């Protein structure tokens, strides 16, 4: 074999070696890129699942708090020494009047109570994430529920860092929505209280006011006599909103208000 042939074979071998080296290099880069992409995809899925879990906890806590605060007349917790409520059906319902004075809680007060309740129950609902590379800054947790006529919006700030195979992502805010006419139903109860207070009369006929209450055509407003105190005649004013039941297959929203030493008669059945 001549020197020229040796040179040719050497060049061919060198070219093949270079091509194999380059191919291996690019294959290695692609493999690393695929691994990184898969890791990012898995991180994204993990983050989405976490966000969904947190927002489901918010929604469940929101519904529980809503039905409790509605049934109890706008408050959730009651100190044993608080004289402004009455025990009724194993729960406690706020009095909304003192003689002819309206002492019903404000919307802002109800929002604050509901927000505190939902935040506490949401945090308690979350599982232990210590072994899943998830860090939660509970000290910065904050939540606010906003009551509108046709829904309740819940916004929560809770910084979370999610890790997966060396990559991280950050989630800071969560939101949920309760599809109930709580604001509108509260407005009905507050209208009755305001109208009663202005009339300065112990006698109030609901039937004469039905057209003014602006119900949603699936609402019942009525009273139940409840004698529970020796010195007071107590009535429970109830507003039943059936729209969540008929439209969304959910529970009937019921607002209860305790009233002392007045007489309310009649009812509104807007079906």
Q: Summarize pLDDT for 145-200 with one digit per residue, the tens.
A: 999 998 999 999 999 988 877 778 889 999 999 999 999 899 989 988 888 777 76
pLDDT for the residue 34: 46
Percentage above 90 pLDDT, the chain = 30
β-strand partners of 143 = 156
Rounded-to-5 percentages of helix, strand, coil across the chain: 45, 30, 25
Instruction: Check whether 144 has a pLDDT greater than 90.
Output: yes
Highest mean pLDDT among 17-21, 41-45, 111-115: 111-115
Instruction: Check whether 28 has a pLDDT greater than 50.
Output: yes
Q: How far apart are CA 260 and CA 195, in angstroms?
A: 16
Confidence band, pLDDT 50/70/90 cuts, at residue 40: low
The pTM (predicted TM-score) of the whole model is: 0.81
The least confident of 178-182, 225-229, 235-239 is: 225-229
pLDDT for the residue 205: 85
The kind and range of the H/E element at 11 are helix 3-71
């Amino acid at each position: 074999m001549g020197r020229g042939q040796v040179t040719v074979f050497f060049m061919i071998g060198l070219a093949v070696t270079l091509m194999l080296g380059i191919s291996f290099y690019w294959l290695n880069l692609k493999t690393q890129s695929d691994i990184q992409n898969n890791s990012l995809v898995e991180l994204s899925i993990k983050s989405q699942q976490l966000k969904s879990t947190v927002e489901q906890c918010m929604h469940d806590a929101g519904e529980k708090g809503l039905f409790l605060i509605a049934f109890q007349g706008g408050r959730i917790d009651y100190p044993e020494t608080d004289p402004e409520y009455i025990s009724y059906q194993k729960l406690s319902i706020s009095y909304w009047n003192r003689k002819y004075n309206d002492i019903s809680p404000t919307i802002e007060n109800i929002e604050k109570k509901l927000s505190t309740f939902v935040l506490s129950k949401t945090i308690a609902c979350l599982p232990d994430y210590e072994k899943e590379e998830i860090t939660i800054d509970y000290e910065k947790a904050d939540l606010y529920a906003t009551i509108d006529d046709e829904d309740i919006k819940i916004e929560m700030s809770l910084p979370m860092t999610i890790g997966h195979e060396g990559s991280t992502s950050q989630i800071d805010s969560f939101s949920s929505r309760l599809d109930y006419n709580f604001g509108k139903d509260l407005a009905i109860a507050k209208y009755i209280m305001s109208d009663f207070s202005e009339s300065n009369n112990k006698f109030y006929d609901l039937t004469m006011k039905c057209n003014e209450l602006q119900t949603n055509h699936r609402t019942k407003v009525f009273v139940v006599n409840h004698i529970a105190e020796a010195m007071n005649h107590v009535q429970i004013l109830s507003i039943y909103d059936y729209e969540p039941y008929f439209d969304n297959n959910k529970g009937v929203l019921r607002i209860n208000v305790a009233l002392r030493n007045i007489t309310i008669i009649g009812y509104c059945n807007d079906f």
